[in-house]
Structure 1
Amino acid sequence: MRLLCGSLLSLRRFNAVFSTGTIRRATSSATMRLVQFCHVGDEGRVRVGVEQAEGQGVIDLKAFDPSMPSTMREFLEMGKSGMDCAERALSSGQCVVPRSDVRLLSPVTGPEKVVCVGMNYRDHCLEQNAPIPKEPIIFSKFPSTITGPYDDIILPEESTEVDWEVELAFVIGRKGKHIKEEDALSYVAGFTVANDVSARDWQMKRNGKQWLLGKTFDTFCPLGPAIVTTSALKDVHHLGIRCLVNGAVVQDSNTSQLIFQTQKLVAWVSRFVTLCPGDVFLSGTPPGVGVFRNPPVFLKKGDVVECQIDEIGSIKNNVV
Structure 2
Amino acid sequence: MKLLRYGEPGAEKPGAVDADGNIRDLSSVISDITADTIADGSFARLAGVDLATLPVVADGARIGPPIRRIGNFLAIGLNYADHAEETNAEIPAEPILFNKAPSCISGPYDDVVLPPDSEKSDWEVELAFVIGKEARFVSEADALDHVAAYTICNDISERSYQLERGGQWMKGKCCPTFGPLGPWLVTPDEVPDPQKLSLWLELNGDRVQNGSTTTMIFPIAEIVSYLSRFMVLEPGDLVTTGTPPGVGLGFKPPKYLKRGDVMKLGIEGMGVQQQTVR
TM-score range, shorter chain: over 0.9
State the match for 1:211 in structure 2.
Answer: 169
Change (3 A) 1:194 1:92: closer
Q: What corresponds to 1:7 in structure 2?
A: none
Judged with a 3 Å threshold, the aligned counterparts in structure 2 of structure 1 residues 137 and 53 are, in CA distance, closer, same or farther, namely: farther
For 2:2 and 2:16, the matched residues in 1 are separated by 6
Task: Please say if residues 18 and 51 of structure 2, whose CA atoms lie closer than 8 Å, have aligned partners that are also in contact.
Answer: no
Match of 1:49 among 15, 31, 34: 15
Specify the alignment match of 2:102 in structure 1: 143
Match of 1:70 in 2: 32
Please say if residues 25 and 57 of structure 2, whose CA atoms lie closer than 8 Å, have aligned partners that are also in contact.
no
2:44 matched to 1:83? yes
Counterparts of 2:70 and 2:119 in 1: how far apart (Å)?
Answer: 29
**What's the TM-score, normalizing by structure 2?**
0.94
Deviations 1:14-38, CA, capped at 9 Å, x for gaps: xxxxxxxxxxxxxxxxxx1111222
Q: What is the match of residue 58 of structure 1?
A: 23
Q: What is the SS of the residue equivalent to 1:69? A: coil
CA deviations 1:23-79 (Å, max 9, x no partner) are xxxxxxxxx1111222xxx6553322221158x22222222x3xx222332321222
Tell me the secondary structure at the aligned position of residue 267 of structure 1.
helix
1:146-195 Cα distance to aligned partner (Å, 9 max, x none) = 00010010010132110001101111111222222111111101111111
> Given residue 316 of structure 1, which amino acid in structure 2 is its aligned partner?
Q
For residues 98 and 60 of structure 1, the distance between their equivalents in structure 2, rounded to whole angstroms, comes to 6
Match of 2:259 among 297, 301, 304: 301
Native 8 Å contact 2:264 2:274 kept in 1: yes
Decide whether the 8 Å contact of 2:126 with 2:240 is kept in 1: yes
Q: Percent identity?
A: 39
Q: Could you tell me how far 1:209 is from its partner in structure 2?
A: 5.0
Cα separation, 1, equivalents of 2:213 and 2:203 = 20
Matched, 1:277 2:235: yes
How far the C-alpha of 1:88 sits from its partner, in A, is: 2.8
1:251-266 alignment runs, 5 A limit: 251-266=209-224
Give distance in 2, aligned partners of 1:255 and 1:248. Answer: 21
Tell me how many residue pairs correspond in the alignment: 278
| In structure 1, distance between residues paired with 2:203 and 2:152 | 16
Secondary structure of the residue aligned to 1:225 is coil
**What TM-score, normalized to structure 1?**
0.82
Cα drift, residue 260 of structure 1: 0.5
Q: Could you tell me how far 1:311 is from its partner in structure 2?
A: 1.2
1:316 aligns with 2:243: no
CA separation of 1:274/1:210 partners in 2, compared to 1, >3 Å: closer, same or farther?
Answer: same
Q: Greater RCO between the two (CA within 8 Å, min separation 6)? A: 2
What is the aligned partner in structure 2 of residue 33 from structure 1?
Answer: 2
Corresponding position of 2:202: 244
Return 5+ residue gaps in structure 2 as ranges.
Answer: none
How big is the shift at 1:101? 5.2
CA distance in 2, matches of 1:53, 1:224: 18
If you compute each CA radius of gyration, which structure gives the higher value, 1 or 2?
1
Matched, 1:117 2:83: no
Counterpart amino acid of residue 47 in structure 1: K
Higher helix share: 1
Secondary structure at the aligned position of 1:93 is classed as helix
RMSD: 1.7
Q: Which amino acid aligns with 1:253?
A: G
Report if aligned partners of 1:33, 1:53 keep a CA contact under 8 Å in 2: no
Specify the code of the residue in structure 2 equivalent to 1:160.
E
SS state of the match for residue 59, structure 2?
helix
